[in-house]
Amino acid sequence: MITPAEMEKRIVRYGDLVPCRTAFIDAHTPGSDKKENFTIIGGGVSESADQHVHIQDTPGFNIGAAGQPPFCRNSLHTHRTAEVFFVLSGTWRFFWGRWGDAGEVTLQEGDIINIPTGIFRGFENIGTDYGMIMAILGGDDAGGGVLWAPQVIEDAKDHGLILGENGTLYDTKKGQALPEDVAPMPVMDDAALAQIKEPSVADFVPNYVARYLDLMAYAKGQPVSVISETGLLRDKPGFDVEFLSHASSDGQDYQTDKHEILMIMRGHWRLDYEGGTTALAPGDVAAIPPGLSHSLKPAMSGEASLYRVWSNDDPAGPTWTEWQS
């Protein structure tokens, strides 16, 4: 059993999200200087001491979000563990490759993308309004941070930001400098850059992108396994992702020994649990503790959908994929 007050501490409401506008090395670079980063569960990968963390403890993965106005982009980078996004609002272009020109795909609201490790990737809001994408990052420490394309580090230096090898940003515009005992983050050398993959669009999209309308069609009578060893997007990133709609939630009580994270996409959902009840709205994130009996059902008529993330025993690491093997 858990009290309503205890449960509320495990829910991060969309309207309560605290943004960080200095989270990454490109925070001053024109075209990327209007980004907002949100760290919802776990420490995330922010490089700034200004980053607010809503829930510190991680269930084996991290939950975050990125908000950007139209035509603001996130610069090319890569991760050592999974980086999964679904579009909460807006229209987004995801692109990849050493220079960002190897391929691209446009995602609409509700679409989900599991970006493979070992490639440079970036994303841009190409809609007409402020947009938000929700993120799942593999590992308790999110794979040890972000690896930036060399040109991103050079551009940032021209605009006053230096990244230390300790993973911390220093802003020369504020009079900051690298401490004497901290060297600059090394730029990836030619040998490391040669290992960066550049999959074709034909290889990338069928294996790493799932469309919301397709998921809604599949979610008739039961949840859809989106990312798992046997899911629509076959991977073992250290967590499983399911999709539920108003047509796949029966409102029955259940419990599990796994950590369960609910990420609301559309509609309002009623979460009844042993100890209380609450409503969840689009953009809300709820961390359900293992062993708690609870149920989920739409709180009103109309379209409703959510992504559910489960912890599992798979280690966080490189994408489990044929083209990387």
pLDDT tens string 280-294: 999 999 999 999 999
Is residue 10, in this structure, part of any structural domain at all?
A: no
Of all residues in the chain, the percent with pLDDT exceeding 70 is 98
* Token pair recorded at residue 105: 């795909």
| Angle at 317 (CA atoms; ends 139, 225), nearest 5 degrees | 80
Closest CA to 311 of 242, 245, 253: 242
pLDDT digits (tens, 9 = 90+) for 29-66: 999 999 999 999 998 888 888 899 999 989 999 999 99
Q: Are residues 201 and 67 in the same domain?
A: yes
Q: Sorting pLDDT into bands at 50, 70 and 90, what band is 128? A: very high
Closest CA to 167 of 141, 195, 196: 141
Q: Sorting pLDDT into bands at 50, 70 and 90, what band is 320? A: confident
Is residue 12, in this structure, part of any structural domain at all?
A: no
Q: Are residues 151 and 298 in the same domain?
A: no
Number of structural domains (the chain) is: 2
pLDDT digits (tens, 9 = 90+) for 221-264: 899 999 999 999 999 999 999 999 999 888 899 999 999 999 99
Q: Are residues 45 and 145 in the same domain?
A: yes
Is residue 22, in this structure, part of any structural domain at all?
A: yes
Q: What is the pLDDT of residue 325?
A: 47
Distance CA 16, CA 293 (A): 26
pLDDT digits (tens, 9 = 90+) for 52-110: 999 998 999 999 999 999 999 999 999 999 999 999 999 999 999 999 999 999 999 99
More confident residue, 323 or 36: 36
Q: Sorting pLDDT into bands at 50, 70 and 90, what band is 322? A: low
pLDDT digits (tens, 9 = 90+) for 158-208: 899 998 988 889 998 889 999 989 999 888 888 989 889 999 999 999 999
Q: What is the pLDDT of residue 48?
A: 81
Mean pLDDT of 309-316: 94
Q: Are residues 185 and 221 in the same domain?
A: no
211 CB neighbour count, 10 Å cutoff: 15
Give the residues across from 148 on adjacent strands: 77
CATH number for the domain spanning 74: value is 2.60.120.10
Give the residues across from 95 on adjacent strands: 104, 122
Is residue 4, in this structure, part of any structural domain at all?
A: no
Burial class (CB in 10 A: 0-12, 13-18, 19+), 66: buried
Domain, as residue range, for 192: 17-209
Closest CA to 297 of 318, 273, 315: 273
pTM for the full model?
0.94
Is residue 2, in this structure, part of any structural domain at all?
A: no
Is residue 153, in this structure, part of any structural domain at all?
A: yes
Distance CA 306, CA 242 (A): 8
Is residue 126, in this structure, part of any structural domain at all?
A: yes
301 CB neighbour count, 10 Å cutoff: 8
Strands 224-228 and 233-234, how do they pair?
A: parallel
Q: Are residues 237 and 173 in the same domain?
A: no
Mean pLDDT of 290-301: 95
Task: Name residue 322's amino acid.
Answer: E
Q: Are residues 286 and 230 in the same domain?
A: yes
Distance CA 35, CA 44 (A): 16
